[in-house]
Structure formats: C-alpha cells, structure tokens
Amino acid sequence: MGYRRRKAEETFFKVLMIGSTLIIAGSLLLIMGTIVVKGFPALNLAMITQTPKGGYYLGKEGGILNAIVGSLELAGGATLLALLLSLPIVLYINVYARRKSRLAVFTRFSLDVLWGIPSIVYGAFGFILMMMIGLRTSLLAGIITVALLELPIMARAMDEVVRLVPSSLRDASASLGATRLETAFHVVVRQCLPGIITAVLIAFGRGIGDAASVLLTAGYSDRIPGALTQPAATLPLAIFFQLGTPYPEVQARAYASAAILTFLILAISLLSRWFSRKFQKNTIK
Amino acid sequence: MNPQTHISIRNLSVSYGRQKVLKDVSLDIPDRKVTAIIGPSGCGKTTLLKTMNRLLDGQDGVTIEGEVLVDGENIYDPKIEVTRVRKKMGLLSQKPQVLPMSIFDNIAYGPRIHGVRDKTRLMAIAQRQLQASGLWEEVKDRLHEPASRLSVGQQQRLCLARGLAVEPEIILGDEPTSALDPQSSRIVEQRLVELKAEYTVIVVTHILRQARRIADYIAFLYLGELVEHGPAADVFAAPKDPRMKAYLTGEIS
C-alpha cells in the first residue's frame, strides 16, 4: 500500500475519532445548556425549600422539595439495598466459586439479561410484588423496585473490577492463613474500593434518574414522605408531570427540576470521585 | 521417617486437566536447611512448591494425588484445617505481592487474623520482623504509608517480614529474587541463608549460581520428574544422572 493511501487512511480515522468524541462532549453541553437556559427563569430558592402549595401545578407558588427529598431517600435506600445484595454476589462468584463454575457463569449471564430489561418492566414487576404482599404505593415499594433495577448494574460493574484482582494477591493473603472471607473483605474489597464506589455511584445515578419504575410503586405525593409506608414523590416524575401541563411557567419549572436533578447527580459524582481517590492510595497497581 | 525431615513428599502427582506436571515425586526436605528446587522452566518447580501450602487446591482442573507430610501430618487429609497448614509457611512469590494497605498493616494483617489485637504488641511484632528482614531503618518513619509506594526490592523484604510475623516454621520462596535488582537480590538471598538457623527454607530458583550459593540440599526436576536430589555438595560435585550433568554444564536450561 502506498504511503499516500496509508496517510489518507490515518487522517480519515483520526477525523472520525475526534468527531465522535466531540459529539459526545457536545451532547452533554447541549443538554446542560437546554436545562439551564429553559429552567433558569423558574429556578429560585422556593423551588428547593418548599413543597407544592395549592395550585402549584397551575403556576402558583411552592417548590419541589417533596420530590428532592423523595428522590434522595428512594435512591439512597435502593442503592443501600442493592449494595447489600451485590457485594455478596460479586464476592461469591469471584472469591468462592471456581473460575469456570456454572453457577458463576449463569449468574453473570442473568445479570447481563437483567441489565437490559426496561425499567417499566421492573415497575410492573414491583407492582405485582406489592399486590402480593399487600403493600400500597409507598417509599418502601419504590425502594425495593429501584433496588432490583440497580442490582444488575451495580453487581456487574463491581464484578468487572473484582475480576481483575490478581490471583497472586489472594494467594498472598491465603498463605498467611487467612480464610476466604478474610481475604474477601480485607484484601479484595480494599483493593477494589475505588471501583466499588464507582459501581455504587453508577447505580445510584441510574436509580435516581428513573421514572418508569417508580410510577406504579412509589406513587407521588405533595408531602415529604415521613415513613416507609407513605407514597413518595420523585424528581423524574416531577419533571414528567410539570412538563405535561399546558402552562409555560410550569413547564419552565420542569426544566428547573431537571437542572436540580442534574446538579444532584453531578455533586454526588464529584463527591464519590473524591472518595475513590482517597482510597486509591493503597491500591496495588 | 528420618528425624531431621521436616516435609516429606510421598508419591505426589499433579495434573492440570489431562497434562501431568508432576510425576510421582517423593522427596524428604530437611529441617532447618536451605533446600533449592532447580530445573529448567516449565518442569514443575513452582507447582511442587505450591502443593506444600495447598495453594493449588482452589484452581480449576487440578488433581493432586499422593501425600505431603508436614511434621508427620498429611496436609491433604480432609480433616486438616487448610488455614492452619498455611500459617506454618511464609510465602515469597516471584513478583512481591504486598497487600493493599499500609506498611504496618501488611505485617499486622497476619497476626490480626490469628487473634492479636493489642496495638503495642502488633507494633513490637512489626518492628522485630522489619528488623529481621533488614527493612526497619528504611521504613520506620513511614510505617503508615501505603506499601505500594515501596520499591520492588523493599516490597519483597516487606513480604518476608509479613510472612515471618505469623510465626511460621517454613519459608517458601518461588524465585523470590527474579524481579529484584542485584542489590535487593543479595539482601534477600542473605536473609534466606540466615533464616535457616530457625526455619526450614525451600527456594525455587532457575539461577544455578544462586542455588550453589545458598543451598544445602538440592532437588532437580526435569519435565515433572524428580531426577536427582541430595546434599548440595554431593550433587554439584558428582551428579549421577546424565540429565543433571547436562543441566549443570548448561546443555539444558
């Protein structure tokens, strides 16, 4: 192949790569820009300090504190529940089960399939579950459903980092007379802590941003949920309901709500990055 | 059994899947001596070493037949607690493998899991073992820094100190100097020789000169077979098997 042709090939793919990178960075900026520009006029202190007053959805005063608190409680609870289930799964398939164990292979396959199931299906499944155990639309029902939604994402993201722990590191712990459990908690978890934090964050972001799974399970309420058995408002649904009204000022509030949600996720993302850097210093490269 | 034998390997065969990597090996390893396992790469040296603290157990497709007696007790007996077997042995791997924690915690890890909780006692153990492995002066002011910041040579000495902290009887080394610079290699080698006063030392090495320098006893493996073994002086001076001779003259390596 001639030099000229190889050079053209190089240029073509370089342009393609840079172009794709710019598109992704540009999309983020565009989305952020739209939310800020459209939502900024409606963004005020009342939005984040008050619950909806009468006639809020017609453009009268109030805020979406109910949805902010609801979302944080719901996604926080769901993430905690998902973590309590993910960590044992991941440690089992990586530290206890043999590398090619059928159970481990089947578990990974299940998680991959579950990852792909649309959230509305989780919502419907959660709804059926609620009916079976006699639970009404409530914070608890929402937490359980969103935890199921987050579980495969969290477990699989953790699995990818835990798998990379070299067997020689586990052998080093074992040869000091450690049991598998001690190796799992004191060595494997520590080594993977930055990755585990990232996995938790990804799952939290997915959970707090999902509307379909909470629609039927957590319900919606203008009050801040005071108990697990009360219905809870969430930001994605707040956006959905406000965007669906015919009033421009309420629609602007939807964008303002989206901005609040985005900033929440951004803040948590930065916080977890800081945490994971803090724990990275001990990681063996 | 010979009273000076510490580990006695009886008709040991190991296969990975269908491939047999150790064939009917029987070997007595003397107490408080340096035993070097030598042979060309891929001959089963590391496998033999790993069978001694049951590190091969959890791996896929590994079958182990035969017996390994440590202090007269078969460690492959199903009634034996594997963590107790491993506690008796400190392991140095090819590439030093420090744990993802501070220098102090690396050493305290072993004693802690075996029930030592007292801080001053842990610190005393850390100091003693770091001194024994010649690292104390270099790290005494930064015990709480991550162990991963140490140089590779220092890491290997830390691994030695960590192994000694669980009060083992045996030190296993799997080419413990192969990743180190000459200076650190010499220190580690020297420590291993000094340690035979209290411990049984077993070292896998592919460096013939190293075996000559440190070994009291030699086991030569070739293609999974134990070809020749005996006191180092005898084996090096008058090798009996032609394959051993060929290895010593460098015809096979």
User: Which of these, B162, B218, B170, B212, lies nearest to B189 by C-alpha position?
Assistant: B212
Take residue A237 and report the two structure tokens written for it.
């649904």
Average pLDDT over residues A213-232: 90
Average pLDDT over residues B81-89: 91
Chain A residues lying within 8 Å of B148, measured CB to CB: 281-285
User: Which range among A84-88, A89-93, B91-95 shows the weakest confidence by mean pLDDT?
Assistant: B91-95
Higher pLDDT, A145 or A279: A145
**Interface contact B190, partner A, CB < 8 A:** no
Take residue A223 and report the two structure tokens written for it.
């009050």
Q: Chain B: give the shortest CA distance to residue A99, in Å.
A: 7
Strand ranges (DSSP E) for chain A? none
Question: β-strand B200-204 against B34-38: which pairing, if any?
Answer: parallel
> No. of H helices and E strands in chain B?
10, 10
pLDDT at position A48 = 86
Q: What is the mean pLDDT of chain B?
A: 91
pLDDT category at A271 given cuts 50, 70, 90 is confident
Average pLDDT over residues A50-67: 83
CB A60 within 8 A of CB A144: no
For residue A39, pLDDT over 80 is answered with: yes
pLDDT category at A193 given cuts 50, 70, 90 is very high
pLDDT at position A1 = 62
* C-beta atoms of A176 and B86 within 8 A: yes
For residue B15, pLDDT over 70 is answered with: yes
* C-beta atoms of B97 and A285 within 8 A: no
* C-beta atoms of B148 and A284 within 8 A: yes
CB A60 within 8 A of CB A54: yes
Among A94, A168, A175, A188, the strongest candidate for a mutation testing the B interface, having the largest count of B CBs within 10 A, is A175
Q: Is B93 exposed, middle or buried (0-12, 13-18, 19+ CB in 10 A)?
A: buried
For residue A67, pLDDT over 50 is answered with: yes
Query: Which residues lie across from B74 on neighbouring strands?
Result: B69
Query: Which residues lie across from B29 on neighbouring strands?
Result: B7
Q: Chain A: give the shortest CA distance to residue B114, in Å.
A: 8
Q: What is the pLDDT of residues B194-209, one digit of tens each?
A: 999 999 999 999 899 9
For residue B1, pLDDT over 60 is answered with: no
pTM score, whole prediction: 0.85
